[in-house]
Amino acid sequence: MNERIILNKNNKTTIETGSSILLGTEQIQELSVVLNSMLLRVKNKINVKYGGDHPVVKFLEKSLLQLREKKIDEIEDLRHQYNLTKSLMELYLDEYPKSFDFFVQYFSSPDRESARQRLADYLEESTVKKEEPAVEGPSFDNFSVVEDSRVVSGEIEMKDDDDYQIKYEEKVVVDKNFELPTVPPEIKVKTEQLKYNRQLEELQVELLDKQTRLAQFGKFKGLFKKKEKLALEAAIKADQEKIEKLHQEKIIKGVHSFVAARSAALDRVVKKNEEENQKKYAGKLYAFYEKYFMKKLLPKGMREKLEKQGFIGRLLANGCTMNTALSFALLGGGLAIGGASIVGASVLSGRRVLSGAASGVGSYNLMKLGSDAWAKSHGWDKELSDAELNNFSVENLIIYLAHYEARVALNGGSVNSDSYYKKLTKTLEKKLKVVQVERHLDEKAWAKYLLEMEKTLDKSFQEALSKKVKQKSRLKYYATAVGVFIGSGMMQKTIEYLFGDKGVNAPVSKENSSHTLLAEQSFDQSTDFPPLVGELDLSAENSVDYSMIPELAEQSQSSVEEVLMPVTERTAEMLKESFSYNHSLIEKVGGAVEIVGGKTNVVFDFGVGGDFELKQQALRRVMMDVFPIQEILDKDGLSALDIGRIESNVTTFTKLLEGKSFHGFSPDILKGVMHIEGKQLIITDYEKLMKISEQVLAESKRWVPDMSSGFVRVGQNTAAHVWEKMLNFKMQNIKI
Amino acid sequence: MNWRELISTNIITHLGLHNIDEAQRLKLLAEIADLLQKQIMVRLIEFLNDEEIREFFHLLENNEDKELSKFLDEKVPHLEEIIYQEVGNLKQDIAAILS
């Protein structure tokens, strides 16, 4: 059926329904009233089905009022109203085609009286039926289309046929501020969903049919028609898979479309705010929503509730970002209703974390933490034994807890009554107590200590953030695939800026923002360093300590040239072997060693699936490897002070890799020696790196003179067994 | 379902996302979280006049967090409730669309 409403050239309005008729203003108004009645019916129907709070009901209540006040008298407006009504009827009234048949026929049929009567009958009948008891609001009882078609209560006014002749052309004054309701995007999304529902229903009917037939097989034919039965079973399985796939597609599409529609609507609201409500800065502020949500600015009410929740609650009250709070709320977590969570705690206690450090448990990593990939890469895809748990450092246990909780939540569950989770938290409590005692801190002092760390790190973080915002365009976007759960893109980019990007405006903080309680924790970053500058310098001194390897001792006494030239495949292989022997720690922890142009190259992968999660972890091994043997062989062995100095070295090299000066060293010192490329720490001249590390260590001794240094505490935050393991690897082939 | 129940509802189960491939699931969550942030921001703007929006923007841009916190506590004292409403409504609205 052709249902077009058009405007003719002479400004006469026409509904074209196969046989055209012309409409005057009064007819348009009358048609509009008919459409209003239909809309009212739709509203009542939705009200019954979804309740009075349904957005479409609210929308229609408002729209109907507007439409009645407006008194549609232009064909274009009528067209909008028609399309809106049609869409809604299609969505919510099964009999919509019938309704519109009547609607169109009413104005097209030569037997108009009869069509009109049918329309009236139809509307009245459908109203009288009252299929659902909960119908609210006026229904079609308040009008009736009778022979003389008089107004009953203003809902509809139908006149004699003579009135449908074009008698005049008149100019209609239209209120320009009036906006006709159009089909809301969410209705379109609903249309999509209903289409999926229909397809699913059809598939389910087919499935049911097959299942019924299978049941009959079971009773009567199982033994004789085995093949057919098997085929039917296979078909049922295929149907079930198809249904599942379609169902998932429906949900994915539905959420995508909903979010897109709602976002567009919000954008419009903001624009309107700017235009109409003298809120000219609304758009500007709105554009920075991501920044606001990464702030640790929980609303007062939320803070007050959290502060009553003990230690973790207090930490969260002061250190939880808005994003985190929202994420908890989305995942049914307790934060939003006043409960604390270990995930939140880990956001805090891992500063470098905060960071995410900064990638953070706080945002990107919360999703990553809960993911299968993360679990598998850590061997955490199964419950850990008590022994394994006891071997965790406090920091790693927090991360593991965060991972576990996030994983449960992301799979739709809750840890509230999870016995394994309870076991984990008890283990953590015990470990925390030990750390507190070791540091001679009561609970108050302990909390204060952590909060102080928070503040210090926040300062540099916020400084970097401020500058980062100004340089938004410079930054690479990453983490989109995983999405930004708690923190959105802005968070990730900021983090990247702070910890990975070496832009000229990057802050050169004297605070050691890499100092965190979670020394062995993850962060993911996409660094953007310039490629290695300059050619490999074949004449550079090779400082491998071959004297430690008896077999190669003779070579080690040779000049560099003698060792390196010519660098045949055989000598390269030999050098590689000797390096691996002499630096067993590097080999043991996954460093890929190659001899290129006579220089030792070592590459570590970090990130998920790599040798390490963090470049700091790789650097920690390297710094341990190059740490002088004599320092270890002295009377106190590998002391806490030694470890503090190693941590200081790690921090220095981390900063240098980030393009920042630190402890008096310029990043230029690493040119041709070491750099980051994507998710790889690439050492292109290990021997030169050893030389540089000697200088760095000398400086570290100045910065870490005794046990009072923060670096010592940082060192202690990496589990003792981790250091022991590194030490064992380092000393493995050393003959004392 | 009241807001408290809705807040306590895990959106994964509420929308039936648990059977969806993990990468997709995380992506959807990210989208939803982003939308939620926008919605709350729009609600916030409603309670501020132009001058206050400017002040908010200034504090935000200059990372004056302490002042920003005070400002919000004073100007939008029921922000917590707004957040609850938005989270609850969003869960409800998406579920209605998918039903």
The rounded distance, in Å, linking the Cα atoms of A562 and A554 is 11
The answer to whether A16 touches A5, Cβ cutoff 8 Å, is: yes
Question: What are the tens digits of pLDDT across the range A232-287?
Answer: 888 999 998 999 999 999 999 999 999 988 888 888 888 888 877 677 777 877 77
Average pLDDT over residues A177-183: 52
Round to whole Å and give the CA distance between A69 and A56.
Answer: 20
User: Which residues in A lie closer than 8 A to residue B9 (C-beta atoms)?
Assistant: 332
Dist. CA A119–CA B33, nearest whole Å: 47
At A673, the pLDDT band (50, 70, 90 cuts) reads: very high
| Strands, E assignment, A523-598 | 592-596
Asked if A340 and A310 touch (Cβ cutoff 8 Å), the reply is: yes
Count CB-CB contacts under 10 A for residue A169: 11
The pTM score is: 0.47
What is the rounded CA–CA span in Å between residue A621 and residue A521? 14
Which band of pLDDT confidence, cut at 50, 70 and 90, is reported for residue A389? confident
Work out the minimum CA distance from A407 to partner chain B, whole angstroms.
Answer: 11
- DSSP class of residue A546 equals G
pLDDT tens sequence across A648-664: 999 899 889 988 888 88
Rg (CA), chain B: 16
The pLDDT mean for chain A works out to 63
Q: Averaging pLDDT over each range in A375-379, A387-391, B2-6, which range is the top one?
A: A387-391
- Answer whether B79 sits within 8 Å of A484, measured CB to CB: no
Split at pLDDT 50, 70, 90, the class of A730 is confident
Which pLDDT band holds residue B70 (cuts at 50, 70, 90)? very high
For the ranges A115-129, A286-300, A427-441, A603-617, the lowest mean pLDDT is seen at A115-129
| pLDDT value for A689 | 92
The residue with tokens 């994003």 is: A323
Average pLDDT, integer, range A596-618 = 74
% of chain A exceeding 90 in pLDDT? 5
3-state secondary structure A651-676: HHHHHHHCCCCECCECHHHHCCCEEE
> What is the Cα–Cα distance from A533 to A537, expressed in whole angstroms?
11
- pLDDT exceeds 70 at position A566: no
Task: Give the least confident one: A184-198, A214-228, A555-569.
Answer: A555-569
Pairwise CA distance, residues A296 & B61, whole Å: 15
Whole-number pLDDT of residue B4? 67
Residue A101 has a pLDDT of 57
Q: Which helix (H) or strand (E) holds A605?
A: strand A599-605
Residues 6+ apart with CB under 8 A from A64: A36, A39, A40, A43
Instruction: Find the helix or strand (DSSP H, E) in which A112 lies.
Output: helix A112-129
Q: For B97, which of A186, A285, A463 is closest by C-beta distance? A: A186
pLDDT for A132 beyond 50: no
Radius of gyration of chain A (CA): 36
Where is average pLDDT lowest: A440-444, A679-683, B82-86? Answer: A440-444
pLDDT digits (tens, 9 = 90+) for A683-728: 999 989 998 998 899 888 888 888 878 888 788 777 777 887 888 7
According to the model, what pLDDT value does residue A252 have?
92
Specify the DSSP class assigned to residue A541: P
Which residues contact residue A176 at a Cβ distance below 8 angstroms, ignoring those fewer than 6 apart? none
For this complex, say whether ipTM is above 0.90. Answer: yes
pLDDT over 70 at A514, yes or no: no
Return the amino acid letter for A251. I
Angle at A215 between CA A213 and CA A217, to 5 degrees: 70
Q: Are the CB atoms for A397 and A345 separated by under 8 Å? A: no
Per-residue pLDDT, averaged over A328-355, amounts to 48
A295 and B27 in contact by Cβ < 8 A? no
**Minimal C-alpha gap between B57 and chain A (Å):** 6
pLDDT, tens digit (0-9, with 9 covering 90-100), for A461-481? 344 434 433 333 222 222 211
Higher pLDDT, B74 or A39: B74
Cα separation, A469 vs A484, whole angstroms: 18
Residue type, A87: S
Tally C-beta pairs within 8 A across A and B: 213
Taking an 8 Å cut-off on Cβ atoms, the answer to whether B28 and A256 are in contact is: yes
Average pLDDT score over residue span A370-399: 75
Query: What is the number of other CB atoms lying within 10 angstroms of the CB of residue A270?
Result: 21
User: Is residue A210 scored above 50 in pLDDT?
Assistant: yes
Considering only residues 21 to 80 of chain B, which have any Cβ-Cβ distance to chain A shorter than 8 Å?
21-42, 45-46, 48-50, 53-54, 56-57, 60-63, 65, 68-69, 72-73, 76-80
Is there a contact between A95 and A129 (Cβ–Cβ < 8 Å)?
no
The mean of the pLDDT values for chain B is: 86
Q: What is the DSSP letter of A357?
A: S
> Which alpha helices (DSSP H) does A471-565 contain, by range?
489-495, 553-556, 560-564
